[in-house]
Amino acid sequence: MPHFTLEHTTNLPALDAQALLRAANQALFASGQFGAEIDIKSRAIPLEAFAVGTAGDGLRGFIHGKLAILSGRNAEIKRQLSEAVLAAIEAQYSVPDHMDVQISVEIVDLDRAAYAKAAHTRRSAT
């Protein structure tokens, strides 16, 4: 835990999704809210079909992050997490001057009592 999903429109030039995921993971680990860094999982979903407003000129796009965490954290911690991830994304991606781009992050609570996980670690060959 946590799970971070990054959605981004495919019209954003020079967007390196892997670099954005690494930056988000580093910000999440630095928050001190999560145990081991190996527990932070992230993925990127490129969006080829999308609309931003009503203009169809292809000069609008977005990056949206959804952070799913176990329930129980207060609103201030959630705000700190969303702002840290947003800052990490903005530091990693330079928005082109000729485009309108919105970047957002949301926090979603997962029911702690209903969440199940199995972690299988590598075994060293001896």
At 7, the amino acid letter reads E
Q: Confirm whether 31 is domain-assigned.
A: yes
CATH at residue 90: 3.30.429.10
Q: In whole angstroms, what is the distance from residue 40 CA to residue 1 CA?
A: 6
Q: Confirm whether 12 is domain-assigned.
A: yes
Total domains in the chain come to 1
Q: Confirm whether 9 is domain-assigned.
A: yes
Task: Provide the sign of the torsion angle of the four alpha carbons 86, 89, 91, 93, taken in this order.
Answer: negative
Sequence length of the chain is 126
Q: Confirm whether 124 is domain-assigned.
A: no
Q: Confirm whether 120 is domain-assigned.
A: no
Residue 120 confidence (pLDDT): 86
Rg of the chain, C-alpha, whole Å: 16
Residue 126 confidence (pLDDT): 66
Q: In whole angstroms, what is the distance from residue 112 CA to residue 66 CA?
A: 17
Structural domain harbouring 74: 3-52+61-114
Q: Confirm whether 122 is domain-assigned.
A: no
Low-confidence residues in the chain, pLDDT < 70: 126
Residue 55 confidence (pLDDT): 86
Q: In the Cβ-directed half-sphere of 17, how many Cα atoms lie within 13 Å? A: 19
